[in-house]
Amino acid sequence: MRAAVYDHAAPEGVKVVQRAAPSSPPPRGNGNEVLVRVRACGVNPVDAKEVVGDKLPGFLRPIARRLVTNGKTCGFDLSGVVESAPAGSTFRPGDEVFGAVPPLRGSFCELARVPSNQLCRKPSALTHAEAAALVLPGLTVVQLLSQHGFEPGQRVLVIGASGGVGHVAVKVLRAFGAGSVTGICGERNVAFVRSLGADDVVAYDSRENPNPSGVYPKGGGLGSRDGDGRDRVMDALAAIVEKNGAPFDVVVDAVSSGDAVDAAHAYERRVLTHDNPPLLATGANSDPHNYVTIGAKFSGWVKAGLKRVAGVNAFPPRRELFWITFPNCANDLETLRALADEKGLRPSIETVVPLTDDGVREAFRRLKSRRTRGKIAIEV
């Protein structure tokens, strides 16, 4: 079968090869796994960052990527058709499904084995490309909101609202009954984020004056400061808080990470230190860790791992790093299926590429540019 694998000597570190297809029935001991003929895959930044991403110190990442990923099949997300299923499974050959494969097993291939507890029937309202593109960002948003006690009526700020996770967050929040959703994105994506259902949009790179109803802050940029020293993006958020009559209950930061180019925005520091008015809710009725990132420096991943393994939350008050969970995510996938079929949740796809050398490399190039609007999908 065809499969896209990591190869550090190839352009963009990836190439498509022919490799042995998984057997049917499954090997002994893998009786809970379903063999899926893949029709489409979602492509995520973690794929282009070779799974390791920002989870290790910078000097260790190249070594880890060579040791861990070289020769491994890329990808986590897929949508396809059941080829075979073990006896007693709720899935049958011919069923259309979507889900996530375990790390380093890879989904960018023609046939994949997927644990049944990481699989769900595909939303009938979505194409295979749309269903696959929904998996990782959709699971991230649903699990993140659940872990941080989201309730209908709450006010949420989404940083990076035009990206893969951010744009799905805006749509899911609208479907879940958020009281208000504010998005931060680049000026070229303001209309796109509004179309997703955001109540207010702040363009971090706009040169226009603040507009209390539409909020186009002057300044933008990484520092977001003009000659008078004011942080125009935070000023715009403050205007929204005053208009809403209360600070944000949750911040979903889909931009900040351990990479220097992302950390340069310093969104967390800027939001948490703004005190006139405070931008983020505090107090007994607030989640104690309500500034949530999906990327961080190595120390953040250590704390996230400690929470996952031992249940100990070592993060300081007000902030936390979210780490997605794949095992037993079938219920979360079912939530996404219901949102798609009953409430019209649909990921926005910027482009669809084929499972070829050129196609996968183009997907990785686009992701590394940090300019992708919505998602990229692969059709197999």
The DSSP secondary structure of 71-134, one letter per residue, reads TPBP-SEEEEEEEE--TT-S--TT-EEEEEPPTTT-SSBSEEEEEGGGEEEPPTTS-HHHHHHH
Q: In this structure, are 123 and 223 located in the same domain?
A: no
Q: In this structure, are 54 and 165 located in the same domain?
A: no
Are the CB atoms for 248 and 281 separated by under 8 Å? yes
The partner residues of 180 in beta bridges, in order of sequence, read 155
The whole domain housing 165 covers 150-286
Q: In this structure, are 111 and 158 located in the same domain?
A: no
Rounded distance, CA 119 to CA 98, Å? 6
∠ CA 351-354-359, rounded to 5°: 75
Decide which of 238, 266, 286 is a domain's last residue: 286
Q: In this structure, are 128 and 55 located in the same domain?
A: yes
Is residue 140 included in any domain, yes or no? no
Q: In this structure, are 171 and 128 located in the same domain?
A: no
**What's the CATH number where 211 sits?**
3.40.50
Per-residue pLDDT of the chain (380 residues; tens, 9 = 90+): 999 999 989 999 999 999 999 977 666 656 689 999 999 999 999 999 888 888 888 888 888 888 778 889 999 999 999 999 998 899 999 999 999 999 889 999 999 999 999 999 999 999 999 999 999 999 999 999 999 999 999 999 999 999 999 999 999 999 999 999 999 999 999 999 999 999 999 998 876 544 434 444 433 444 445 555 678 899 999 999 999 999 999 999 999 988 888 888 899 999 999 999 999 999 888 999 999 999 999 999 999 999 999 999 999 999 999 999 999 999 999 999 999 999 999 999 999 999 999 999 999 999 998 889 999 999 99
The partner residues of 181 in beta bridges, in order of sequence, read 156
Rounded distance, CA 255 to CA 355, Å? 28
Q: In this structure, are 96 and 162 located in the same domain?
A: no
Q: In this structure, are 186 and 79 located in the same domain?
A: no
Is residue 195 included in any domain, yes or no? yes
Q: In this structure, are 280 and 156 located in the same domain?
A: yes
pLDDT at 147: 95
Q: What is the dihedral of CA 134, 136, 138, 143, to 10 degrees?
A: 160
Q: Write the DSSP string, 20-61.
A: PPPPSSPPTT-TTEEEEEEEEEEE-HHHHTTTTTTSS-GGGH
pLDDT at 26: 66
Longest dimension (CA), the chain: 70
Is residue 343 included in any domain, yes or no? yes
pLDDT at 112: 97
Is residue 302 included in any domain, yes or no? no
Is residue 19 included in any domain, yes or no? yes
Which amino acid is it at 211? N
Decide which of 286, 311, 345 is a domain's last residue: 286
pLDDT at 68: 77
Decide which of 228, 256, 286 is a domain's last residue: 286
Q: In this structure, are 88 and 168 located in the same domain?
A: no
Is residue 145 included in any domain, yes or no? no
Which amino acid is it at 250? V
Q: Which of 144, 150, 220 is nearest to 181 (CA)?
A: 150
Q: Which of 124, 194, 203 is nearest to 159 (CA)?
A: 203
Are the CB atoms for 368 and 18 separated by under 8 Å? no
Are the CB atoms for 320 and 289 separated by under 8 Å? yes
Q: In this structure, are 260 and 206 located in the same domain?
A: yes
Q: In this structure, are 7 and 117 located in the same domain?
A: yes
Q: Which of 12, 132, 150, 24 is nearest to 75 (CA)?
A: 132
∠ CA 265-266-272, rounded to 5°: 140
Q: In this structure, are 171 and 221 located in the same domain?
A: yes
pLDDT at 66: 80
Is residue 297 included in any domain, yes or no? no
Is residue 293 included in any domain, yes or no? no
Number of domains in the chain: 2
